[in-house]
Structure 1
Amino acid sequence: MITLIFTALPGLLLLPILISFIFPFIFQDIAYLITLLRSGMKFWGYVRKTPAHTVVDMFLEQVDKHPDKPFVLFGEEVYTYSQMDKLSNRAARALRKYGSVKSGDCVALFMGNAPSYIWIWLGVAKLGCSLSCINSNIRSHSFLHCFACSGAKVIVAGPELKGAIEEVMPELRKDNIRVFFLSETSISEGTESLLDKVKAASDESVPKSLRSFVGGKSLAMYIYTSGTTGLPKAAKVTHNRFLLATTLFEICKVKARDIVYTPLPLYHSSAMMIGVHGCISKGATLVLRQKFSASQFWNDCRKYNVTVIQYIGEVMRYICNVPKSDDDATHNVRMAIGNGLRTDVWSEFLRRFGDVHIYEFYASTEGNIGFVNYTNTVGSVGRLNYFHKKLNPYEFIKYDIEKDEPVRDSKGHCIKARKGQPGLLIGKISSSAPFDGYAGNIANTENKILRDVFRKGDIYFNTGDLLMVDQQNFIYFHDRVGDTFRWKGENVATTEVADILSLVNFIQEVNVYGVPVPNHEGRIGMAALRLFEGEELDGRKLYSHVRDFLPNYARPRFLRIQNAMEITGTFKQRKVGLVKEGFNPIIITDPLYFLDEREKKYVPMTQTIWDEIKAKKIKL
């Protein structure tokens, strides 16, 4: 028997090595699955409690556990868990007494990043109310639209937004809306002050009975889409969805000792749902900045001893575009959590700033499916995991870019995309993976639902995103459905073209889109470029680059040089205005260029070229 054991022992020891050689990511997949199951069990344990166990309850547990631990760092200010608790109690009492806010109401918050944003939210939640997080950058019609969607009767606004409020005050008065500025005294006619009332209120605990009716499916917050293609939509965020968002910090192994840097806007889900609530779930410390600054990013990280950073959209590109410094890699950041990181920026970030584990994830505020790149594979947003797919069913289906709809077979059912083929990501809607929809126009909610997908009666959430799974089961973001365009019978992904153009050394920023051409079918590629300071467009070099790296149909035929890119408050590039303006030199004052195949370079766009394209004298 002993001989048999010693004979088998080497084989048993070599087995894990053999398994990992055949299935190189199996142990990471298993670890991820275990974390998901553990987080899921914890989540369902909270959901089953009566009354519901919410983020507010999590926060109060952390207050009891370590009241004197810093919760929020802001400039030179330090707010402990206990101080934030007392401030939120005062805010709740002030709103209840002077704003006549009662349980079940919605309060609109219109202000920039500040610790007060967080304690107002906690105070509102303690009253059993929901919060409408209105983008502090929107104005006039967009503001009124977002506010109306929420059904709120009270607005709390930052003093710095006095002008924006005064602009819409006549409309607000018509509906008897109460407006409070977070100030000591009234600063505008028809408005009231709130800060003085908060300071005068008691900091005693708010009775839990005021929120005893709150369940996991109760509305906690409205978070608005960025409005890149129209008016923002108010996504309904329930208390259950908040709890689910906190599990990302569990998956990424954020610890209580971590210091998390969030220079992102609090009206966005990344900062609020993941950053603020993630820190609450772990008892970690949050570093908040009023406004993102690429030049001060690493100085802040060093100042506060930051260990975890958050990013979205183009944030990482801005950081990489800051002039190089000898202390680029001198920091304690071990982890970055976010989404929208392009592959070229990802690689550059690691080269410059050292060994930072990047947890790129895929998710949306209102969506019911998400992925996390737990293997730290550059460019990926996660992996296809059999058990994850069983727990939370989703599929990638073929999509017709030209018709702007999923491809269906003769029976009317959708067709699954193959590996290596971009497909529309859809998540099955169920009680465990709900889609709560949007406030206001019901058509907005209905437009995101696909019915009779694989069988009669099934329903799926349409993410509006094209993703691709490779042969190793890694998942990659491909493009937004509205951004991908069709030219000469081929689909062109704007993100892929932008990645290629970004490799050119004189290009700092790229925004690729498709524009209609007079008397031609489809949309042709165009790119808005921002060049590095002191650089000029080298038309011949750029032509050689796109010729070498892009197929003919994907090469941008037109370029537009801009001094600054227009972006949303959440660092997403706007395309709609650029598409509408096209490449007409009469309309556009920015320098325009045309890819001239005869000259083998990009040449200045002229009215003559425009006329010849319109008359089809120039072949595109």
Structure 2
Amino acid sequence: MVLEIDLRCSVEDVLPSLRENNITVLIFDDKCTTESIGNDEIQVASDQPLPLSLRSHVTFDSPFIYIYTSGTTGLPKAAIITHSRAHLFAFFVATCDVYSNDVIYTTLPLYHSAGSMVGICGCIYAGATVVLRRKFSVSQFWDDCRQYDVTVIQYIGEMLRYLCNAPKKSNERDHKVRLALGNGARPDVWKEFLNRFGNIQVCEFYGATEGNVGFFNNVGKIGSSGRISVFTRMFMPFHLVKYDVDREALVRDANGHCIEVAKGEPGLLIAKITPKTPFLGYAGNSVLTNQKQLRDVFCKGDLYFNSGDLMMLDHDNFIYFKDRIGDAFRWKGENVSTTEVADILSVLDFVQEVCVYGVTVPGHEGRIGMAAIQLQSGRDLDRSQLYEYLRTHLPSYAWPRFVREQKQIETTGTFKYHKVTLTKEGFNPMTIQEPLYFLDDQKRTYVPMDQQLYNSIITGQVKL
């Protein structure tokens, strides 16, 4: 394992288990004195190309990399990316008209498939130049584009929204950017982005890291993830099927088969698993792999990949992302595992039960975190402790921004939480009689939610 100096503290916590598994840890820092973290091996390493014999056994079906994803089935797991799939990611960039004289600017994390597979591998495939920035900056974004003669930018929907919400400048159209490549752009933000920053082609795509189905829109249809053709169906057989959000279950007919939705109606995206469209699953976890597979969908014995996403196909065959189901939601461009957040919150001594879910906020992409908490008998919600605990144990995008106290969290007969009901009720104090709280960064605690605060959040006066 090779790491940067910034990640040393994170690795130090798990060094004993790494040693038990005979994993060597190397670091790019000649001043590191931590036992079991080496640097000498890097200093004396040869700068000559590796011999071909070291990779003579590698084929297109060999694992290329593992990318951790929360998906829609709980805790993070390692999606298997083969060499053929890496080539497919990289080739996708070429289909979006990226050439060797382009300069690609990405501020996305490289542990995501968008940053690493599309950004880096795509850049290598096209022979282009890539400009990396450690962290996205609204104020420096267009300055960077001008400084490095950027022609292609990578985005997620929230990035475009941040850029559109920034104060206008006289030189914001003064750049060479001709193409924006990414996913998650809301139609209203997409339109505003084009109106403000010039004639930029937006190439929106859809796909899951581990999935066997994907789309891309390079014709400029605002809001769409792509257009479906006969060839799409031929090379990537998929269907949109009826899904009962309230029951969190597929709708099947009298024969037990799934029902395809009509055009204009949202349905669960599923894709047939075949030798040409495989689903490789997750490394060392057959249980989670099986959870992403659907059997006997349209006939006995067929097998499909469950994307966990609701999509809609219009009458012109453009496809649109509508919502995400399951145990994850997306906020600030990150997939948040409700299972992981709930597990962390349940450790607090005043928490008896906790249910984590995402709620929508007008003007924001995705869903923001909210937690319903049932307290231990005789205990009060320690709001300051909760805030400090979250700061220590979770990244900011995964913090539940809203907390709802409940005397008892209702469950189904199989002990599943009624997340759909909680999600629909949201965080409006006019409709929820139980105590509600909002995470206030300035006060470093959770503050009571009243109607004035609610209105300020809804109108965008309070930044999330």
TM-score class normalised by the smaller sequence: 0.7 to 0.9
**Residue of structure 1 in register with 2:449 after alignment:** 592
> In the alignment, is residue 189 of structure 1 matched against residue 30 of structure 2?
no
CA drift of 1:221 comes to: 0.4
1:228–1:322 distance in 2 versus 1, CA, 3 Å: farther
**Residue of structure 2 in register with 1:318 after alignment:** 162
Structure 1 unmatched runs, 5+: 1-154, 485-493, 503-507, 519-564, 596-600, 605-620
**Residue of structure 2 in register with 1:331 after alignment:** 175
Q: Distance in 2 between matches of 1:509 and 1:365?
A: 20
CA drift of 1:429 comes to: 0.6
> In the alignment, is residue 212 of structure 1 matched against residue 62 of structure 2?
no
CA drift of 1:460 comes to: 0.6
2:146 aligns with one of 274, 291, 302: 302
3-state SS of the aligned residue for 1:346? Answer: helix
CA drift of 1:168 comes to: 2.2
1:408 aligns with one of 234, 249, 252: 252
Q: Distance in 1 between matches of 2:49 and 2:88?
A: 26
Residue identity in the other structure for 1:260? I
**Residue of structure 2 in register with 1:269 after alignment:** 113
Residue identity in the other structure for 2:2? V
Structure 2 unmatched runs, 5+: 330-357, 375-390, 406-421, 428-433, 439-445, 458-464
1:365 aligns with one of 204, 209, 228: 209
- The structure whose residues are more often helix, as a share, is 1
> In the alignment, is residue 158 of structure 1 matched against residue 4 of structure 2?
yes
Deviations 1:417-454 (A, max 9, x none): 11111000011111111101001321110000001111
CA drift of 1:383 comes to: 1.1
Contact 1:228 1:575 in 2 (8 A): no
**Residue of structure 2 in register with 1:387 after alignment:** 231
**Residue of structure 1 in register with 2:289 after alignment:** 445
**Residue of structure 2 in register with 1:97 after alignment:** none
Residue identity in the other structure for 2:435? P
Contact 2:370 2:401 in 1 (8 A): no
1:418 aligns with one of 237, 242, 262: 262
1:412–1:277 distance in 2 versus 1, CA, 3 Å: same
1:579–1:457 distance in 2 versus 1, CA, 3 Å: farther
Q: Distance in 2 between matches of 1:321 and 1:167?
A: 39
CA drift of 1:388 comes to: 1.2
CA drift of 1:579 comes to: 7.0
- The structure whose residues are more often strand, as a share, is 2
Deviations 1:450-471 (A, max 9, x none): 0111111111100000001112
1:593–1:230 distance in 2 versus 1, CA, 3 Å: farther
Q: Distance in 2 between matches of 1:188 and 1:352?
A: 50
**Residue of structure 2 in register with 1:33 after alignment:** none
Q: Distance in 2 between matches of 1:579 and 1:393?
A: 42
**Residue of structure 1 in register with 2:25 after alignment:** 179
1:376 aligns with one of 190, 200, 220: 220
2:309 aligns with one of 445, 450, 465: 465
Residue identity in the other structure for 2:66? Y
1:443–1:258 distance in 2 versus 1, CA, 3 Å: same
1:603–1:354 distance in 2 versus 1, CA, 3 Å: closer
Deviations 1:327-377 (A, max 9, x none): 111100000010111222211211111111000100111111111112111
Deviations 1:151-179 (A, max 9, x none): xxxx2121122222222223333434322
Residue identity in the other structure for 2:124? I
Determine what percentage of the aligned residue pairs are the same residue.
Answer: 47
Residue identity in the other structure for 1:297? F
1:191–1:574 distance in 2 versus 1, CA, 3 Å: closer
Residue identity in the other structure for 2:302? D
- Structure showing greater radius of gyration is 1
Q: Distance in 2 between matches of 1:409 and 1:510?
A: 32
1:578–1:234 distance in 2 versus 1, CA, 3 Å: farther
**Residue of structure 2 in register with 1:169 after alignment:** 15
1:454 aligns with one of 267, 279, 298: 298
CA drift of 1:227 comes to: 7.1
Residue identity in the other structure for 1:240? S
Contact 2:26 2:42 in 1 (8 A): no
Deviations 1:145-203 (A, max 9, x none): xxxxxxxxxx212112222222222333343432211122443122211xx54343332
Q: Distance in 1 between matches of 2:109 and 2:130?
A: 13
Report the TM-score, using the length of structure 2 for normalisation: 0.74
Contact 1:185 1:192 in 2 (8 A): no
Report the TM-score, using the length of structure 1 for normalisation: 0.57
Contact 1:181 1:187 in 2 (8 A): no
CA drift of 1:312 comes to: 2.0
1:236–1:300 distance in 2 versus 1, CA, 3 Å: same
Residue identity in the other structure for 1:468? M
Q: Which range moved further: 581-590 or 246-255?
A: 581-590
Residue identity in the other structure for 1:165? V
1:344–1:214 distance in 2 versus 1, CA, 3 Å: same
Residue identity in the other structure for 1:410? A
3-state SS of the aligned residue for 1:455? Answer: coil
Residue identity in the other structure for 1:592? M
Q: Distance in 2 between matches of 1:384 and 1:373?
A: 10
Q: Distance in 2 between matches of 1:423 and 1:586?
A: 33
**Residue of structure 2 in register with 1:477 after alignment:** 321
Residue identity in the other structure for 2:205? F
3-state SS of the aligned residue for 1:296? Answer: helix
Contact 1:263 1:310 in 2 (8 A): yes
Report matched runs for 1:27-426 at 5 Å.
155-193=1-39, 197-226=41-70, 230-426=74-270
